[in-house]
Structure 1
Amino acid sequence: MPNTLNPLELIARRWQPSARFVRGAALATVVMAVLIVVTGGAVRLTESGLGCPTWPRCTADSLAPTAEMGVHGVIEFGNRLLTYVLCAFVGLAIVAARSRAPWRHSLTRLGWYQFWLIAANGIVGGITVLTGLNPYIVSAHFLLSTALLTVATVMWHRSREGDGPARGLAPRPVRQLAWLLVGATGVLTVLGTVVTGAGPHAGDANRVHRIPIDWEKITQLHVDFVFLVLGLSVALWFVLRAVGAPAAPRARTRDLLVVLVAQGAIGYVQYFTGLPELVVGAHMLGSCLVWIAVLRVALSLREHPELPAAGEAPGEPEAPEQQAPVPAGV
């Protein structure tokens, strides 16, 4: 009995997307992951978190919002529908990665990781509604969205590389500093969710449970980590220049500094103007851009070369990694 081909295999036999198409599909998942965060923030900032008061239906009797629910129901339901658009883009990225010859298993796996993260976050989003916008569940909902953005960014970066063994582009201590920066930014993001959970924008006009912590004190701790991340970024930029690192990591670090300064300015504006909704929304967008930028810095400090084509003799083995010399006068 002949083997039955799965649908992805059938598509791969009939469609060979270009490398550029695969990169574009991966980038689209990054854009959609950012958009789902920003629109989720709009749901909270417009007090539409319970616009659809139940889940998975919008009301007990209707899948979609009714006229009586007004604009809040439309906003909440629109955010739910956007999840399906996100799934479509992720599905396209999976199919494109699977159909590209030769098949890059690593890219396909990253696409499936995104799919399962979307599914998990959909369930957490439902729990968020059923628990009346419990701030701890809301924080978990945002952090899962950040995890999705992480995997999407890695897939986008990997789509422009090969599948050969990774090799560092800077000495190990420099790469470790970059990952320390990623860790500090991750803590900063978690603290941001606590600030949100304790702050005034609860997501619904009615009284919603908040995290029982002094909002101004946790905000100050959040600001302290902003300065830590900024300091680590400046230090990394100087170190990369000192060790003569390639242009790409230096450019990524410069981009990160620009985004951090802009995000810090937005943060101060929102704090001293009483947290206006539009500025808070811009700050949420900025948090996504900071996370993307810091991941790109760390990922740019190593590369995966292309594997030799079938039947092609492999190149000379790589020389052991050595400490890059410090240019004189730096």
Structure 2
Amino acid sequence: MKYSKWFVRVNWITLVLIFLVVIAGSFVRITGSGMGCPDWPKCFGQWVPPTDSSALPSDYKLIYSEKRAKKVEKFGNILTSIGMEETAEKIRNDKSILYEQDFNARKTWTEYANRLFGFLAGNGVLLVFLWIMLKYRKRKLVITATLNLVLLVFQAWFGSIVVATNLVPWTITVHLFLALVIIGLQLYLIRLIAPSQQRNIKVSKQFYALVFFIFVVTFFQMFLGTQVREEIDHLTKAGIGREGWSENLGMIFFIHRSSSWLVLILITVMFWISRKSKDLRIIHWAFAMLAIELLSGVILNHFNVPGLVQTAHLLFACVLFGILMMATFRLKTKEIA
């Protein structure tokens, strides 16, 4: 079935918007702007947030702290209902969650920009879903678009939980996981409709297994990265500077760093095998993305974790994840005589 060029373009644009949400979310994290808006989906009860604390009631901290307490209690009840009583009690008893920060216009508008990107990406996913339901009601498209829309709605709701719990570390990891699943579903949609992605590339079983293994390790690496970042946040709050990070980060950082070099070696091998094949340019792109990703990782490890470098580190990790996922879709094994 042939799909309209605009339908294909809208899907690519939606993918870019989803990536922009991930980038914006990373920038929010490194600037400490996650609590710039204490409520959700509005920001300080407004669709367009204020620029000065004078526009807020004098007791705004108490107001939003009480609202947060109600959301935390509801979330705790949900966790209890699915058998996570210990986690629920830990959240309920963590009084730091209810601490309300002073109004900061820069942080508020940084978080607001993140939400705007989320709004645009959400509308892109919704538009794709409606387009499919009205014009292209093929089974795979309907299932994928529906699942993506449902996950995006859940992701938006979970974003409110991340805010309500004052950025409890594990909720941020779950938030990233959901974002990667949404990216994967959008890539699969593009695979189904875009002519450029429908041509399969024949490779040996060994080569395909290598690509798939690297994809799995990269996926695992991204979660190790969030754990490393959470540990750094914890050490920073405890007053431990960069000079003490290496001895306090422990095994998670060691595995994260070592796995990165393992992936580099494997992708270098893939690149060398495929260097003369025009059909395997997707592997060449993966090699380029990983090289940039590792460079940003080295800068993060040896210098003062510049904010933009940290954002770039996550961006190129997500792009590498996307390229490898597209490769697993397009590569097909062939029998070797």
> One-letter code of the match for 2:109?
V
> Which ranges in structure 1 are unaligned for 5 or more consecutive residues?
1-15, 303-320, 326-330
Match of 1:120 in 2: 154
Contact 2:129–2:149 (CA<8 Å) still a contact in 1?
no
Whole-angstrom CA distance in 2 between matches of 1:74 and 1:94: 30
Contact 1:33–1:152 (CA<8 Å) still a contact in 2?
no
Contact 1:33–1:149 (CA<8 Å) still a contact in 2?
yes
Runs of 4+ in 1 over 6 A off after TM superposition: 205-208
Alpha-carbon distance change, 322 to 36 in structure 1, aligned in 2, over 3 angstroms: closer
Alpha-carbon distance change, 19 to 207 in structure 1, aligned in 2, over 3 angstroms: farther
1:71 to 89, 93, 106: 106
> One-letter code of the match for 1:87?
G
Whole-angstrom CA distance in 2 between matches of 1:297 and 1:222: 23
Contact 1:121–1:141 (CA<8 Å) still a contact in 2?
yes
| 1:20 and 2:53 matched | no
> One-letter code of the match for 1:185?
T
Contact 2:28–2:111 (CA<8 Å) still a contact in 1?
yes
| 1:323 and 2:335 matched | yes
Greater Cα offset, 139-148 or 110-119: 110-119
Whole-angstrom CA distance in 2 between matches of 1:128 and 1:239: 44
Contact 1:139–1:197 (CA<8 Å) still a contact in 2?
no
Whole-angstrom CA distance in 2 between matches of 1:229 and 1:261: 10
Greater Cα offset, 227-236 or 23-32: 227-236
Alpha-carbon distance change, 63 to 207 in structure 1, aligned in 2, over 3 angstroms: farther
**Total equivalences in the alignment:** 279
> One-letter code of the match for 1:184?
V
Match of 1:215 in 2: 249
> Which ranges in structure 2 are unaligned for 5 or more consecutive residues?
54-102, 240-246
Matched residue of 2:203: which SS?
coil
Matched residue of 1:51: which SS?
coil
Match of 1:274 in 2: 304
1:82 to 101, 117, 135: 117
Shift of 1:240: 5.3
> One-letter code of the match for 2:336?
A
| 1:260 and 2:290 matched | yes
Match of 2:95 in 1: none
Alpha-carbon distance change, 111 to 78 in structure 1, aligned in 2, over 3 angstroms: same
Match of 2:266 in 1: 232
Whole-angstrom CA distance in 2 between matches of 1:160 and 1:170: 21
Shift of 1:266: 1.2
Whole-angstrom CA distance in 2 between matches of 1:290 and 1:98: 31
TM-score normalized by structure 1?
0.74
Match of 1:43 in 2: 28
Whole-angstrom CA distance in 1 between matches of 2:25 and 2:108: 13
Map 1:157-306; keep pairs closer than 5 Å: 157-160=191-194, 169-200=202-233, 214-215=248-249, 217-238=251-272, 247-248=278-279, 250-302=280-332
Match of 2:38 in 1: 53
Shift of 1:119: 1.0
Q: CA RMSD in A?
A: 3.2
Matched residue of 1:199: which SS?
helix
> One-letter code of the match for 1:288?
C
Shift of 1:92: 2.3
Percent identity for Structure 1 against Structure 2: 21
Whole-angstrom CA distance in 1 between matches of 2:248 and 2:229: 12
> One-letter code of the match for 1:181?
I
1:202-241 deviations in Å (ceiling 9; x for gaps): 9xx9899xxxx93364333211111122222233345557
Whole-angstrom CA distance in 1 between matches of 2:334 and 2:290: 32
Match of 2:179 in 1: 145
